[in-house]
Each structure stands twice: as structure tokens, then as C-alpha cells.
Structure 1
């Protein structure tokens, strides 16, 4: 939350596209003080202080796909154009009163709904609030099933592809629950079509010491995807 206070720390990473959860609406910012300039700021939410923001910079532009469904409010399908063209799904998995639609179940249902938009040039980025360690808690739409579903499209987690780690056995946490260093989890992901992951592609997870004063989530930073 209060992303306006964290803007400078994040844009120092020189992003092309940011996916920010618990992000304030654009109206909360003093736009003339935001450096560098951004191209588009797409925001979805109900509370102006806490939605999901997708922000584009440099030579990239983003547009909401016309078949966006409010049934999956925080699974946002976008078209990215500019240096290259691809579909981006910005994700913030939320709790729901029914288990099938809660957290990763929400992603499972959304991917089945948007299956025609998932192709050989797609990225899925965000806070999934899920991990394979909880696969046993769901018979339908668990984390492992989502991973397998995406594999059918040739889409894999960049972190796991480059680190050669299995889902559920991650060595680098992306979340320290309630900023507690003793409660680490890997919950944030960037999935990409295999042809976008090359020998130049890198993935970094922010370090606790560098980011915990800003958030209990660490940034996941992906560079040099194939255009």
C-alpha cells in the first residue's frame, strides 16, 4: 500500500512494465512528481487505496483486452505492444467465500475462461498467493494443476526454469509474512512462454534487508526476455 511513497525505490530498477498489488489509484499521486514519465497506468479495484496497478514505461504500451471479466476482477488480461506484442495477465489472487474461487482457484477459473487468449507469446505476472506445498488442500485447481495447465501452452515459471528448482522447493522466498523473517514463502511468479526465455534472461528476487522496510513482498525482477 501507499505505493506513491515507494515509487522511487521501484523505478530505480528501470522497469518496462510494473505489476503492483495493493496499489493506489492514479488519482492519489502527484503526477508531476513521478519520474520517469510512464505511458499507461491501468488500475482495477474497489478501494482507491488498494487495487492492482499495471504501469508501462519506455517503448511499451498496455491496453485492457476487451473480454476482461469482472468475475475475475484481479486477473487482468492485457495486450502489450511496442518493442514486441504479447498478452500479459496481471495477477493478484484474492480470498473468496467459496474455496473453488479463492486464491489459486481464482487463477484456475480465470485461465480456463481466458484460454483462447493464452498463446505462445504470453506472460503471467503477479502475487498468486499460492505454492505447491498446499496442493493437497485442493482437489480441483491447485497450484500444481495450474502449472500443468500452463505447461500445455509451453508457459513456465521463469524462476523455476532458470534456478532448476521444483515448485514447492524454492530456495528464495518472495514473501515474509507480516514482515516476519521466520515466515518465508514463495508466492510471487512470472510465467512466460518458453520461447521468451533465453540464455540472456535473468530473474532476481529482492533481498529481505533491502526491501522489508517497504513491503513484506520482495520484488521479482525479470530482465532480457526475448522480444
Structure 2
């Protein structure tokens, strides 16, 4: 199973071909226009399912499934957590929960970015305890921006998830420490000398990644200020006999 997350910097309809060239099963796209504005080129494969969520029709979160995968927003979805969408994924070898993430809530200053995810992992904690899950998206966060006295910074989030055996596949694959990443996923104002790592894919112990790739500045600078994070998983499903939704 291959999952890609990418903040497309709007107008995904004109950029989808660059992502679909990687033949993903699921694509999580931040700053994606609403379905009413999406019209893909005729030579591109149609998704087997899609979900879009957001308040601005030009910039929301789009999730696209291919190769028979199906998507359904989980009944426990809390729309006040912007924009983090729990999705039940079916149609593959096993069902699992995908949390599509674009952490961005300008109205809640104290919890504007990573704070939204911090609140979300607590809100959905019961689901995390008993279900295979993947968190993929633009977290707008990195350990370098930690405010030590503020509850729910990036390091607190990483530890909370790790205590539940949910880890960043990029950091495991490349043996990186949070805050010291060698592969940036974002270039401020598209300037190569302003690199940051702020897009992630966290997966529970039920999954094992076999390939992790971050797009390069040269390949993606004309399309977005973010680079795609591409993950190919094996199906392991260790210690998981039942699913609770």
C-alpha cells in the first residue's frame, strides 16, 4: 500500500498528474480545492473514492483513493479540530483508520498548529488504543519550534504517540531525530535556503514501511512550497485480531 501526503499550494487539479505518476493507493492533499472546483485531465485515472473537508472552497483537505480502496469519515469526527479528519479505509487487505491532517486553525491562537493535533490525539485516544492507524499530512510543526512551557508542543506529541506505539515512518526509516531532519519537506517562500521538515506520516505498530521518499526541491519547486512524502507499507498487522470502530 502506497500513501502520499502533499500540500499542493492550491489548484491540485492542475498538479495531480505529478503525484499520480507515483501510482499511489491513497493521496492526502492539503490546500486542495473543493470537489465542485476539481476537474482532472481526461487521461488521469479516476479515484475510486474521495473525501474533501474544509471551509474555504479553494483550500481544504482532499483525500483520494485508488485501486479499490474506499473512504468514509468516522462517526466520531470532531469538526472543531481543524483540519484533522478521521477516515475509515476499506477495500485493502485490512481496514484501518487514516487521520488526514492539515493542522491549521488561525482562530485558536494557543492551539493554532500542532495544538490542533495535540487536542485530536486526546479526542481520538480510544480509537488509537485498539485500531491500526496512520496520521498523514501537513502538521505545520517541528521540534525546533517547541515552546517548552506550553503543553502539547511537537515533542510532547511525538512522545504521546510513541507511548501508543505510533511512530513517524520517515524518522524510523532514515534513523533521524525530530528537529534534525536531513530531508526538508517545506521551503519558506520556495527559497532553497529556508528549509523545514513539517510533513509527516505516523503509523501504528501494525504497519511496516518498506520505502520512504521525500520529493526534492528541484523536482517540486515549480508546483508548491511543500514536497510530497511518499510511503510504501507492508501489511504486518501484528497484535491486531479485532477492529473497533
Structure 1 residues 38-53: aligned runs within 5 Å: 38-53=47-62
Structure 1 residues 79-94: aligned runs within 5 Å: 79-83=88-92, 84-94=94-104
Q: Which residue of 2 aligns with 1:62?
A: 71
Secondary structure in 2 aligned to 1:70? coil
Q: Which residue of 2 aligns with 1:185?
A: 196
Q: Which residue of 1 aligns with 2:152?
A: 141
Q: Hey, what's the Cα distance between the residues in 2 that align with 1:134 and 1:172? A: 17
Give the one of 11, 22, 37 matched to 2:20: 11
Q: Hey, what's the Cα distance between the residues in 1 that align with 2:200 and 2:67? A: 23
Secondary structure in 2 aligned to 1:144? helix
Structure 1 residues 1-227: aligned runs within 5 Å: 1-30=10-39, 33=42, 35-83=44-92, 84-118=94-128, 119-136=130-147, 138-198=149-209, 201-226=210-235
Deviation at 1:225, TM superposition (A): 3.1
Q: Hey, what's the Cα distance between the residues in 1 that align with 2:149 and 2:84? A: 20
Q: Hey, what's the Cα distance between the residues in 2 that align with 1:10 and 1:81? A: 22
Structure 1 residues 10 and 142: alpha-carbon distance in aligned structure 2, compared to 1, 3 A threshold:
same
The answer (yes or no) to whether the contact 2:16–2:40 under 8 Å persists in 1 is: no
Q: Hey, what's the Cα distance between the residues in 1 that align with 2:28 and 2:80? A: 20
TM-score (norm 1): 0.94
Computed over aligned residues only, the root mean square deviation of the Cα atoms, in angstroms, reads 1.5
Deviation at 1:194, TM superposition (A): 2.4
The answer (yes or no) to whether the contact 1:19–1:126 under 8 Å persists in 2 is: yes
- What stretches of structure 2 of length at least 5 have no aligned partner? 1-9, 237-245
The answer (yes or no) to whether the contact 2:82–2:116 under 8 Å persists in 1 is: no
Structure 1 residues 2 and 124: alpha-carbon distance in aligned structure 2, compared to 1, 3 A threshold:
same
Deviations 1:138-175 (A, max 9, x none): 52000011111111211000000111111001010000
Deviation at 1:51, TM superposition (A): 0.7
1 or 2, which has the higher helix percentage?
A: 1
Deviation at 1:73, TM superposition (A): 3.1
Deviation at 1:46, TM superposition (A): 1.2
TM-score (norm 2): 0.87
Aligned residue pair count: 225
- What stretches of structure 1 of length at least 5 have no aligned partner? none
